[in-house]
Structure 1
Amino acid sequence: MTASLPPSSAETSEAKAPFAETSEAEALFRFETGAPEAVRSALGVSAARIGDAVVLSMRNDPTRFWSKALGFGRTAPVTSEVIAEVCAFYRAEGTPQAVLQLAPSVIPEDWSDICAREGITGGSTWVKLVGDVDEVVARADARDRKRADGLRVAAVEPSDARRWAAVMLKAFGMPEEHFLEMVAASATARDWAPHAAWLDGELVGTGTLYRSGDTAQMFSGAVLPHARNRGGQTELLAARARAAAALGCRLIVAETGAETDGTHNSSLHNMLRLGFTVAYERRNWLWQPQG
């Protein structure tokens, strides 16, 4: 799946890849390391910067989602030595499983040899999308755009941080123990712009935004099952795009699962309708300790 970025931009998708990878890497780094110290200790959170990659470990993560290495190849080529150091970090931390995420343009020629040596296997594929803030806001505010059915989207007040965190975790099927405090901490942290969707007074959807320079990273957009198919996710995207504009951001970055034969990803199509374009597809590479 490929698509060109808005013709108004002189930059290519490849040129925007470092910004897109940086945005996601720094957002995830802040999200995990910004948790209270007691939560980090309970979950076994540790972080490192190896080469130009952000390497995150959550040793006691029952979901096995949060241990990730990403942001590779932004300033220097990815080498076998860098990947070996990343894997050594995970072994030293006792991490049961981690995902390495590399933009296709930075994967080295000897990648298959590196994978065989380090015990890395290919997993699912994500789509990396980039949007011009002005374009996304213009589409979001277009008079002919269909609005959400009965939903209200607004910025999250500090008093609602824990409720917002609980809904996010429920929507993604994650437990509340320890994670609720981690998610809630981001709601009041600097450079984050959390938003919520409400239906008849019930908080039913979540999404946040992380600002890194003039780039905004979409994060954790989700709506509870009973409130879906009302346009809530699109309204959450639209509200966060307006927040990005207010923060002076120029680009918005997002990720979602790639469609395979016979599947339909509503999140992907919602973003495309708002003017996001596909920069590239990125494979998730799974590392597990050998032996």
Structure 2
Amino acid sequence: MNAPLPLSATEGSEAEALFQFETGAPEGARSALGMNATRVGDAVVLSMRNDPTQFWSKALGFGRTAPVTSGMIAEVCAFYRAEGTPQAVLQLAPSVLPEDWTEICAREGITGGSSWVKLVADVDEVVARADDPDRRQADGLLAAPVEPGEADRWASVMMRGFGMPEEHYTEMVAASAVHPDWYPHAVWLDGELVGTGTMYRSGESAQLFAGAVLAHARNRGGQSELLAARARVAGTLGCRLLVAETGTEADGSHNPSLHNMLRLGFHVAYERRNWLWQPAT
């Protein structure tokens, strides 16, 4: 995996996963959260007007089939203004930023925010490392696929794991658990569902999503077990590539999720800035 991967793999899998995750929510949740979505060129544009977490309004997947232009960004921002979105994040791989990006940002009210790390891994390598008998095993935890009857409880744990509200959000999350392109997993501790992770299949790529463990069950290897379990399923599906994202380590911070992935064979493809859009006041 030394050659640069196409954006259709690194950005496309995430964009299409998030688009399906949000647009697949039941109508009641979509209405309560003020959800809407569109496509601008090859980018997906997601708005959640009534989102106190300010996480779910995102535009991403840019530059997969055509260069990013000022007109494209203007159309994205116009959509958010029309929706009354209080804040949105534009996520563009560094290689697709246009030369006039500084001027575009000044014109549209976009400012630089934190950065994420885009990670990729060969499915076979992750499975081999996960099955290495010398690998540290989880302490009393078991990771396995989620049965349909556990979807609501699984969704609740995911929201609590990320510190997000449960009302309406759990309906969105639970809907993904029964979609044929999603493969939800959970981790149990003594019969209690204490962690979540899911995976979206896109061709030969598998997008990892929403890995979280409740506070009282952390530091026992749960996230690594969730990574390993999903990698094994990806292998059975014929996927060759795993794709994931997590926060960068800045100012001496430590991100356990990043190190868990690196230990299992993930590689950093690039860092990607979060560009914040807010309407003019």
- Tell me the TM-score normalized by structure 1: 0.95
1:51 and 2:41 correspond: yes
- How far residue 31 of structure 1 moved from its aligned partner, in angstroms, is 0.4
Alignment RMSD:
0.8
Corresponding residue SS for 2:6: helix
1:119 and 2:109 correspond: yes
| 1:3-48 deviation per Cα after TM superposition (whole angstroms, max 9, x unaligned) | xx4x5xxxx23x3333110000000000000001111111111111
Corresponding residue SS for 1:23: helix
Please tell me whether the aligned partners of residues 125 and 257 of structure 1 are also in contact (alpha carbons under 8 angstroms).
yes
Please tell me whether the aligned partners of residues 7 and 63 of structure 2 are also in contact (alpha carbons under 8 angstroms).
no
Please tell me whether the aligned partners of residues 161 and 213 of structure 2 are also in contact (alpha carbons under 8 angstroms).
yes
Please tell me whether the aligned partners of residues 196 and 204 of structure 1 are also in contact (alpha carbons under 8 angstroms).
yes
1:179 and 2:169 correspond: yes
| Match runs of 1:1-291 below 5 Å | 5=1, 12-13=3-4, 15-291=5-281
| 1:209-245 deviation per Cα after TM superposition (whole angstroms, max 9, x unaligned) | 0001110000000100110010000000000000111
Give the distance between the partners of 1:190 and 1:91, measured in 2 at CA.
34
Q: Where does structure 2 lack aligned partners over 5 or more consecutive residues?
A: none
Identical aligned pairs, as a percentage? Answer: 77
For residue 137 of structure 1, what is the amino acid of its counterpart? V
Give the distance between the partners of 1:179 and 1:242, measured in 2 at CA.
28
Corresponding residue SS for 2:11: helix
Corresponding residue SS for 1:184: helix
Please tell me whether the aligned partners of residues 121 and 286 of structure 1 are also in contact (alpha carbons under 8 angstroms).
yes
Please tell me whether the aligned partners of residues 130 and 278 of structure 1 are also in contact (alpha carbons under 8 angstroms).
yes
Give the distance between the partners of 1:64 and 1:88, measured in 2 at CA.
18
Give the distance between the partners of 2:247 and 2:6, measured in 1 at CA.
20
Please tell me whether the aligned partners of residues 46 and 58 of structure 1 are also in contact (alpha carbons under 8 angstroms).
yes
Please tell me whether the aligned partners of residues 17 and 279 of structure 1 are also in contact (alpha carbons under 8 angstroms).
no
Corresponding residue SS for 1:96: coil
Count of aligned positions? 281
Q: Where does structure 1 lack aligned partners over 5 or more consecutive residues?
A: none
Give the distance between the partners of 2:230 and 2:249, measured in 1 at CA.
24
Give the distance between the partners of 2:113 and 2:169, measured in 1 at CA.
25
Please tell me whether the aligned partners of residues 169 and 176 of structure 1 are also in contact (alpha carbons under 8 angstroms).
yes
